[in-house]
Homo-oligomer: A and B are copies of this chain.
Amino acid sequence: MSDIADLTRRMRTFTEARDWARFHDPKSLVLALVGEVGELAELLQWLRHDEQAAAVSEQPLNGRLAEEMSDVLLYLLRLADVVGVDLAQAAADKLQANEDRFPPDDHRSVAPSKA
């Protein structure tokens, strides 16, 4: 089965069992997501560029990254549930759109510009 749908359902059950849905308006959930992204950033901020590839694969850092990425994912799934978005479908659609928007031959080795 879909693990995105499964994790979303488990987060909803977890939330409702504690009566925490009252805290989970969209703006508050984005702030919670930001908090977890901040913890993820802190794990990496001072890693030297040429050491980061090795460092992220070692413990305890790899396990800490797994935890913070999990927190980001769980809040993101909770937010999608609250705002009524099928995130598995939306992400598949977005990836398809990106594949169409950036033909490989035109964009090879060139970072997409945000400017």
Binding site for B on A (CB under 8 A): 2-5, 7, 10-11, 14, 17-20, 22-23, 25-28, 30-47, 49, 52-53, 56-57, 60, 62, 64-67, 69-74, 76, 79-80, 82-88, 90-95, 98-99, 102, 104, 107-109, 111-112, 114-115
Other A-B pairs beyond A25-B52, A32-B46, A72-B72, 16, CB < 8 Å = A2-B3, A11-B95, A20-B107, A27-B45, A27-B47, A28-B45, A30-B31, A32-B45, A37-B37, A42-B114, A43-B115, A56-B82, A56-B84, A62-B84, A66-B86, A74-B91
Question: Inside 8 A of A39's CB, which chain B residues have their CB?
Answer: 35, 38
Q: A37-B37, A38-B37 are in contact. Are A14 and B94 (CB under 8 A)?
A: no
CA distance A102 to B23 in the complex (A): 16
Q: A10-B95, A95-B14 are in contact. Are A88 and B3 (CB under 8 A)?
A: yes
